[in-house]
Amino acid sequence: MLTLYYARGTCAVASHLALEHTGAPYEARRIDFKTEQQRSPEYLALNPKGRVPALATPQGVLTETPALLQYIAQAHPQSGLAPLDDPFGLAQMNEFNSYLCSTVHVNHAHKGRGYRWVDPADTAALEAMRRRVPQTMADSFAMIEGGMLRGPWVLGERFSTSDYYLYTIASWLEGDGVDIARFPRVADHFTRVGALPVVQRVLAAQAA
């Protein structure tokens, strides 16, 4: 059985949604960022990066959302979460997921975690980063609106892990000072994914 370590409101939601989608049993363990549980010796022994998500599998622990999403899809091929029989389609899924991970998530992180890239005492630089987040997030979502989101799902007619990942990151827009209504196709996708029973179940579990 797979065990996901997640924290509320983080990118780990995407992997949680993919696991729930499979219909297979799994365990979801919450890591409390408020008490810095991700920095506890127990958690660092599991994931030295001190981040979420981490996925404990029978063969060992995996990290990094794009890797987890493809792994969950491959471990549950009947789930239809990825075009496993189509290397180009799979690459399109990974291309989209990699963009969310390395560009959009990174943009977002400059709001609350700018200390990763400057002296944490440099409040002016931290504030300069924070100020720019509405712009960088809007620029990224303009790219997504403009074609990366093919419609009705990210990959076109085929639903995939990318839909859960996009939903997860799009849920940050409001907090990042970006009105999702500026991106009608993204907003429609967000509404449709958010209405799925899988999503409702995971949101309820994370809120409990």
Residue 5: strand pairing partners: 29, 54
User: Measured from the CB of residue 143, what is the shortest distance to its own copies in angstroms?
Assistant: 7
26 binds its own copies (CB under 8 A): no
User: Measured from the CB of residue 188, what is the shortest distance to its own copies in angstroms?
Assistant: 21
- For residues 104 and 199, which CB has a smaller minimum distance to its own copies in the complex? 104
For its own copies, the binding residue among 10, 92, 161, 168 (CB under 8 A) is 92
User: Measured from the CB of residue 57, what is the shortest distance to its own copies in angstroms?
Assistant: 6
119 binds its own copies (CB under 8 A): yes
User: Measured from the CB of residue 10, what is the shortest distance to its own copies in angstroms?
Assistant: 14
91 binds its own copies (CB under 8 A): yes
CB atoms under 10 Å from CB of 100, counted, come to: 25
105 binds its own copies (CB under 8 A): yes
- For residues 16 and 110, which CB has a smaller minimum distance to its own copies in the complex? 110
132 binds its own copies (CB under 8 A): yes
Question: Do residues 116 and 109 lie in contact, with contact meaning Cβ atoms separated by under 8 Å?
Answer: yes
Structure tokens at 132: 């720019």
198 binds its own copies (CB under 8 A): no
Q: What whole-number distance in Å separates Cα of residue 90 and Cα of residue 92?
A: 5
**What residues make contact with its own copies under the rule CB under 8 A?**
48-49, 57, 59-60, 62-68, 70-71, 74-75, 87-88, 90-92, 94-95, 98-99, 101-102, 105-107, 110, 116-119, 122, 124-125, 128-129, 131-132, 136, 143, 146-147
